[in-house]
Amino acid sequence: MQYKDYYKILGVSRQATPDEIKRAYRQLARRYHPDVSKQPNAEQHFKEVGEAYEVLKDPQKRVAYDQLGSPWRADQDFQPPPGWQSHFDFTNGGFSDTYSFDFNDFFSTLFRSSPQSTHYHDQSFHTQGEDQQAKITITLEEAYHGAIRLVQLPIPIHRKGIVQTKTRTLNVKIPAGVIHGQKIRLAGQGLEGIGGVAQGDLYLEIEFQPHRFYRAQDRDIYLTLPITPWESALGSTIAVPTLGGQVELKIPADSQSGQQLRLKGRGLPGHPPGDQYIILQMVTPLAHSEAERALYHQMAEKFAFNPRHDLNQFFRVE
């Protein structure tokens, strides 16, 4: 009789959690299921995967299996220690009728009280279709107002063990107020299930198309607003664009370049909605004429202003 390394068959470690074991089993069972796989020895692999899961999913059987120790190598000649089975009670069965195959001698010797009865009733393998992930790029305007988008997505389809790509056209409703990274769930649009079980879901991850002027951070919107030196010094009221329309913004006197002003609730919709932040950027006009240059000379004479004062003091620049 040859030793079977059930952990290796499922591709998990000996410290794997029940959820990790279940997840590995479902993936491998789908891959090797005789109804969908054309891989060589798919049926044999499917049997081994089911046998490994039948042991490792059951706490009592797993403990018993682990009692054998880990030095054994897969397919190595093996005999259980004398009296080993008497320490464990497997007479009540505890086996499900999920699988449709005969267990090998290794399993039967370890866990069956009636070795001659090793065949399980024929029942189909059932598993829900896997969920799929895709990305969709939208504009900030669509995120603000909401939209209906006709999108074409390449969706992998598993048929007889071969992965094919199918282009699927979907009408997707973009709810107002979605943010970058958020996922929209489309129920029943994932991979097909096996054995008549429901399809999985499709999750569309939202990405924002780069905008010429706006920048989004969660629900907040940032806009850099160019202003003149006199608007900065004297203050002004300026029309400012937002995703919801134009608003009037008061620029305080003596504002500085880089200063941020907030328009409350003017970001993306939500509970609560985001804000829009205006970042002031002072733009100095070029002096193209003698009159314009003369004006700059007058300003240099009138203003006792040195923007490098702190820098010069730190480095003691004369």
Distance in angstroms (rounded) separating the CA atoms of residues 151 and 167: 10
Domain identity same for 101 and 164? no
Contact 173, 48 (CB under 8 A): no
Q: Are residues 147 and 95 in the same domain?
A: no
Q: Answer whether residue 85 is part of any domain.
A: yes
* Residue from 269, 147, 108, 139 nearest 213 by CA: 139
Please, what is the Cα angle at 79 between 74 and 84, to 5 degrees? 115
Give the span between the Cα atoms of 242 and 107, in whole angstroms. 69
Please report which helix (H) or strand (E) contains residue 108, including its range.
helix 105-111
C-alpha 97/C-alpha 94 separation (Å) is: 10
User: What confidence category does residue 70 fall into, taking pLDDT thresholds of 50, 70 and 90?
Assistant: low
CATH number at residue 222: 2.60.260.20
CA dist list (Å): 64 to 10, 16, 18, 122: 18, 16, 16, 27
Q: Check which CATH number belongs to the domain holding 99 and give it.
A: 1.10.287.110
When pLDDT is cut at 50, 70 and 90, the band that residue 119 belongs to is very low
pLDDT reported for residue 261: 98
Q: Are 268 and 138 in contact (CB under 8 A)?
A: no
DSSP H or E run through 292: helix 290-302
| Claim to verify: residue 92 and residue 147 sit in the same structural domain | no
List, for residues 136-177, the tens digit of each pLDDT value. 999 999 999 999 988 887 766 655 555 567 788 889 999 999
Q: Which range marks the domain in which residue 174 is found?
A: 132-208
- Residues 60, 95 within the same domain: yes
Let me know whether 37 and 102 are in one domain.
yes
How many structural domains compose the chain? Answer: 3
Q: How far is CA 165 from CA 30, 189, 226, 240, in A?
A: 18, 14, 48, 46
Q: Determine whether 98 is exposed, middle or buried from the number of CB atoms within 10 Å of its CB (0-12, 13-18, 19+).
A: middle
Predicted pLDDT of residue 123: 44
Highest mean pLDDT among 42-56, 144-158, 177-191: 177-191
Task: Tell me which range, 45-54, 105-114, 283-292, is most confidently predicted by mean pLDDT.
Answer: 283-292
pLDDT category at 194 given cuts 50, 70, 90 is: low
Strands 236-240 and 247-251: antiparallel
Name the percent of the chain lying above pLDDT 90.
43
Closest to 161 measured CA to CA, from 311, 30, 313, 22: 30
Reduce the DSSP state of residue 47 to 3 states and report it: helix
Looking at residue 279, what DSSP letter applies? E
The pLDDT value recorded for residue 286 is 95
Q: pLDDT averaged over the chain? A: 80
201 and 221 housed in the same domain: no
- One domain, residues 204 and 223: no
* Tens digit of each residue's pLDDT (9 = 90 or more) over 213-240: 999 999 999 999 999 999 999 999 999 9
- Please report which confidence band the pLDDT of residue 113 belongs to, taking 50, 70 and 90 as the band edges: very low
* Three-state SS at 26: helix
Residues 28, 44 share a domain: yes
Whether the CB-CB separation of 221 and 215 falls below 8 Å is answered with yes
For residue 172, what are its two tokens? 């997707």
pLDDT band at 97; cut points 50, 70, 90: very low
Residue 279 included in any domain: yes
**Contact criterion met (CB below 8 Å) for 237 and 253:** no
Report d(CA 6, CA 17) in Å as an integer.
14
Inside any domain, residue 54: yes
What's the pLDDT at 101? 39
Residue with tokens 């939209």: 147
Among residues 158, 178, 208, which one ends one of the domains? Answer: 208
**162 half-sphere exposure, CB direction, 13 A CA radius:** 5
Query: Is 228 inside a domain boundary?
Result: yes
Interacting residues of 252 by C-beta distance below 8 A, sequence separation 6+ = 235
The answer as to whether 148 is a domain residue is yes
Residue 256: the pLDDT is 95
The closest alpha carbon to 85, from 100, 62, 64, 60, belongs to 64
CA-wise closest residue to 183 among 244, 254, 113, 135: 135
Residues 185 and 266 in one domain: no
